[in-house]
Amino acid sequence: MSRRVVITGLGAVTPLGGDVPTTWQALLEGRSGAGPITRFDSTAFTVHFACEVKAFDPLQYMDRKDAKRLDAYSRYAMAASVQAMRDAGLEHGGFDENRFGVIIGSGIGGLQAFEDQHSQYLQRGPGKISPFFIPMFILDMAAGHVSMKYGLKGPNYAVVSACATSGHAIGDAMRIIQYGDADLMIAGGAEAAVTPMSVGGFASMQALSTRNESPETASRPFDAARDGFVIGEGSGSVVLEEREHALRRGARIYAEIVGYGATADAYHMTQPAPEGAGAQRSMRRALEDAGVRPEDVDYINAHGTSTPYNDRNESTAIKAVFGDHAYKLNVSSTKSATGHTLGASGAIEFIISTLAVNNGIVPPTINYSTPDPECDLNYTPNTPAHREVNLAISNSFGFGGHNVTLAVRKHSA
């Protein structure tokens, strides 16, 4: 029998707040993190808004020298990981460093560093490219810096699977603990892609909402008037721990992670497979891994991007997997409030799912006003739902056909 894995620490930096409690409260109040882009002059762009992280001070989590040498995505990852370590009561040690690992991914990595240094090259030549450029840019550096901060010498690597990235990171971390290769893992993802090339690229794909006159209502998953996602940024990190290890040290246990499903569409670069076939298999695999039935699920934190293809296909997939029960459970897309934080979204939404289980509250899908006949489930429109949440699943799907489902349930003996 594989070892049980519990969640003992949570940390996040999001467009709704600089930590988990602030983000959670904003979600329950139905606030939006969207607003005009401040990272660069968007005048020439078709999209002028995003869900940016606001008032972030990296010096709360690292010294000034490290802050200068890290891209924003790594700074966000470090902040979320420090929060998670503090929350788990592990910041000052008390663990075997050889049995503690880190998996933190990013969908895009240090894109701002790349854009800045490319400008330096064009304007001043190759001799002016920073010696810190490559370490700032590469995707594994967030995981590396977190491991160095705490001396964590267990498995350490990055995952990249577009918007499924941090779902994979958390699922892989669970497996590592289950198989006995570590007792503790920090897992999650980070993204800082509100940059000219990123916004311009997504806009060229016609993936972004162009509701420039009303940014706060632009992210509207499952709503008939949805017209694309709102790009966001931020990070989420969790401390996962082998259950007996957590009990021995008297740790607070938020919930237990019990299922991990990962599949591929093998269909198209950006569009989901018809009928959400890959998503169906991902959800079924997570339920099978958890040893539960579809009717045991109370809440689904949907991938719910506010794009026509994703929302329709995900709704179809949920109905295929859950049958009549699909209409009895609660679904919500918290991207309606946070925007789409790309490689960080899976971790942020896993944290939200964990809090839904822990608190018995389902956060809402905000901006839902016009039902779509093809999306006819209970999307928890606009106000939170107070209900017992014994088991929740969180979906994350990425460009390239990557699908991840994580299952989390109330902790019990």
Residues annotated catalytic, as ranges? 163, 303, 340
How far is C-alpha 394 from the chain's CA centre? Answer: 10
The residue type found at 375 is C
Q: What distance in Å separates the CA atoms of residue 114 and residue 121, rounded to the nearest whole number?
A: 10
- In one letter, which amino acid is 106? S
Q: Distance from CA of residue 28 to its chain's centroid?
A: 18
Query: Amino acid identity of 394?
Result: S
| Cα 215 from Cα 60, distance rounded (Å) | 30
Give 82-85 contacts, CB < 8 A, sequence gap 24+.
Answer: 82/11, 82/149, 83/9, 83/10, 83/11, 83/12, 83/19, 83/20, 83/237, 84/9, 84/10, 84/11, 84/186, 84/188, 84/237, 84/238, 84/239, 85/9, 85/11, 85/150, 85/186, 85/239
Coil, strand or helix at 69:
helix
Q: CA 80, 86, 87: angle at the middle one, nearest 5? A: 85
DSSP-derived letter for residue 4 is P
Beta-sheet pairing, 402-409 with 391-398:
antiparallel
